[in-house]
Structure 1
Amino acid sequence: MKFNLATRLFAAVLSTAVVVAVAMGVGAHVNLNRDFLGYLNEQAVIRLDLAVPSVTTGYRQQGSWDFLRERPDLWYRLLRPAPEDLKVPITERPQASPTPAELTGASRRFTLLDADRQRIVGFDRPADNAVERAVTIDGLTVGWLVLTPFESVSSGAEKRFADAQARTGWLVGGGAVLLAAAVAFWASRRLLRPVRRVAEATHSLAAGDYTMRVPERAADDEIGRLAHDFNQLALALQRNESTRREFMADVSHELRTPLGVLHGELEALEDGVRPLDADALRSLKAEVTTLHRLVDDLYELSLADVGALSYRKAALDLREIIDDTAGAFGERLRSSGLALQLELPPGPLPAFGDARRLRQLFANLLENSCRYTDAGGALRLQARREGRQMLIDLHDSAPGVRSDQLPRLFERFFRVEPSRSRKSGGAGLGLSICQRIVQAHEGRIEARPSPMGGLWLRVELPALG
Structure 2
Amino acid sequence: MKPSLSTQVFAIVLGTALAVAVAMGVSAHMALNRGFLGYLNEQAVNRLELALVSVTAGYRENGGSWDFLREKPELWGRLLRPRLPEAQAPAVKSSPAELTGATRRFTLFDADRQRIAGFATPSADALERPVVVDGLTVGWLALTPFESVSSGAEKRFADAQARVAWAVGGGALLLAAGLAFWASRRLARPVRQVAEASHRLAAGDYNARVPERRSGDEVAQLSRDFNQLAHTLQRNEAMRREFMADVSHELRTPLGILNGELEALEDGVRQLDGTALASLRGEVVTLHKLVDDLYELSLADVGALAYRKAELDLRPLLRSTAGAFGERLQGSGLQLQLELPEQPLPAFGDERRLRQLFNNLFENSCRYTDAGGRLRIQAARGPGGTVIDVQDSGPGVTPEQLPRLFERFFRGEASRNRRTGGAGLGLSICQRIVEAHEGRIEAKPSPLGGLWVQVVLPAHA
CA-CA distance at 1:99 after TM superposition: 4.2
Give the number of equivalent residue pairs: 456
Asked if structure 1 preserves the Cα contact closer than 8 Å seen for 2:345 and 2:380, the reply is yes
CA distance in 2, matches of 1:51, 1:450: 112
CA distance in 1, matches of 2:442, 2:88: 108
Asked if structure 1 preserves the Cα contact closer than 8 Å seen for 2:109 and 2:139, the reply is yes
Tell me the TM-score normalized by structure 2: 0.91
1:135-162 CA-to-partner distances (Å, cap 9, x unmatched) read 1101222322110111212224433333
Question: In structure 2, do the counterparts of structure 1 residues 104 and 448 end up closer, same or farther at CA, with 3 Å as the change threshold?
Answer: farther
* Residue of structure 1 aligned with 2:195, choices 183, 196, 199: 199
CA distance in 2, matches of 1:62, 1:405: 123
* Residue of structure 2 aligned with 1:434, choices 424, 430, 434: 430
Matches within 5 A, 1:348-359: 348-359=344-355
Q: 1:423 aligns to what?
A: 419
CA-CA distance at 1:93 after TM superposition: 8.4
Tell me the TM-score normalized by structure 1: 0.90
CA distance in 2, matches of 1:391, 1:3: 61
Q: 1:60 aligns to what?
A: 60
Give the AA of the match of 1:184. A
Unmatched segments (≥5 aa) in structure 2 = none
- What is the RMSD of the two structures over their aligned residues, measured on CA atoms? 2.5
Q: 2:141 aligns to what?
A: 145
Question: In structure 2, do the counterparts of structure 1 residues 221 and 404 end up closer, same or farther at CA, with 3 Å as the change threshold?
Answer: farther
Question: In structure 2, do the counterparts of structure 1 residues 416 and 177 end up closer, same or farther at CA, with 3 Å as the change threshold?
Answer: farther
CA distance in 1, matches of 2:408, 2:154: 85
Pairing 1:413–2:386 present: no
* Residue of structure 1 aligned with 2:214, choices 206, 211, 218: 218
CA distance in 2, matches of 1:393, 1:334: 21
**1:215 partner SS:** coil
Q: 1:450 aligns to what?
A: 446
Q: 1:321 aligns to what?
A: 317
Give the AA of the match of 2:168. V
Asked if structure 2 preserves the Cα contact closer than 8 Å seen for 1:243 and 1:414, the reply is no
1:423-463 CA-to-partner distances (Å, cap 9, x unmatched) read 34333222221111111111111122222222221111111
CA distance in 2, matches of 1:173, 1:275: 103
CA-CA distance at 1:287 after TM superposition: 0.7
1:305-346 CA-to-partner distances (Å, cap 9, x unmatched) read 111100011111111111111111223333444322211112
CA-CA distance at 1:131 after TM superposition: 1.6
CA-CA distance at 1:119 after TM superposition: 4.5
1:271-309 CA-to-partner distances (Å, cap 9, x unmatched) read 222222222121111111111111011100111111110
CA distance in 2, matches of 1:326, 1:312: 23
**1:77 partner SS:** coil
Give the AA of the match of 1:139. G
Pairing 1:252–2:248 present: yes
1:164-199 CA-to-partner distances (Å, cap 9, x unmatched) read 332233223222322222122112222221211111
CA distance in 1, matches of 2:194, 2:132: 88
* Residue of structure 1 aligned with 2:362, choices 351, 363, 366: 366
Q: 2:291 aligns to what?
A: 295
Q: 1:179 aligns to what?
A: 175
Q: 2:8 aligns to what?
A: 8
CA distance in 2, matches of 1:132, 1:441: 96
Matches within 5 A, 1:77-226: 77-78=81-82, 83=84, 94-97=89-92, 98-226=94-222
The worse-fitting range, judged by mean Cα deviation, of 284-293 and 448-457 is 448-457
Question: In structure 2, do the counterparts of structure 1 residues 107 and 324 end up closer, same or farther at CA, with 3 Å as the change threshold?
Answer: farther
Asked if structure 2 preserves the Cα contact closer than 8 Å seen for 1:398 and 1:454, the reply is yes
Question: In structure 2, do the counterparts of structure 1 residues 182 and 423 end up closer, same or farther at CA, with 3 Å as the change threshold?
Answer: farther
1:358-384 CA-to-partner distances (Å, cap 9, x unmatched) read 011111112222223333322211110
* Residue of structure 1 aligned with 2:262, choices 260, 266, 291: 266
CA distance in 2, matches of 1:60, 1:372: 133
Q: 1:74 aligns to what?
A: 78
CA-CA distance at 1:129 after TM superposition: 2.7
CA distance in 1, matches of 2:87, 2:293: 123
**2:363 partner SS:** helix
Give the AA of the match of 2:317. I
CA-CA distance at 1:121 after TM superposition: 4.3
Give the AA of the match of 1:37. L
Give the AA of the match of 1:148. T
CA distance in 2, matches of 1:414, 1:223: 38
**2:381 partner SS:** strand
Question: In structure 2, do the counterparts of structure 1 residues 93 and 449 end up closer, same or farther at CA, with 3 Å as the change threshold?
Answer: closer
Asked if structure 1 preserves the Cα contact closer than 8 Å seen for 2:109 and 2:141, the reply is yes
CA distance in 2, matches of 1:404, 1:102: 98
Asked if structure 2 preserves the Cα contact closer than 8 Å seen for 1:153 and 1:159, the reply is yes
Q: 2:383 aligns to what?
A: 387
CA distance in 1, matches of 2:187, 2:202: 24
**2:124 partner SS:** coil
Give the AA of the match of 2:24. M
CA distance in 2, matches of 1:259, 1:292: 11
Give the AA of the match of 2:416. R
CA distance in 1, matches of 2:148, 2:204: 73
Asked if structure 1 preserves the Cα contact closer than 8 Å seen for 2:48 and 2:143, the reply is yes
CA distance in 2, matches of 1:446, 1:209: 34
Give the AA of the match of 2:135. G
Give the AA of the match of 2:380. R
Give the AA of the match of 2:279. S
CA distance in 2, matches of 1:37, 1:93: 25
Unmatched segments (≥5 aa) in structure 1 = none
CA distance in 2, matches of 1:93, 1:191: 67
CA distance in 1, matches of 2:88, 2:420: 125
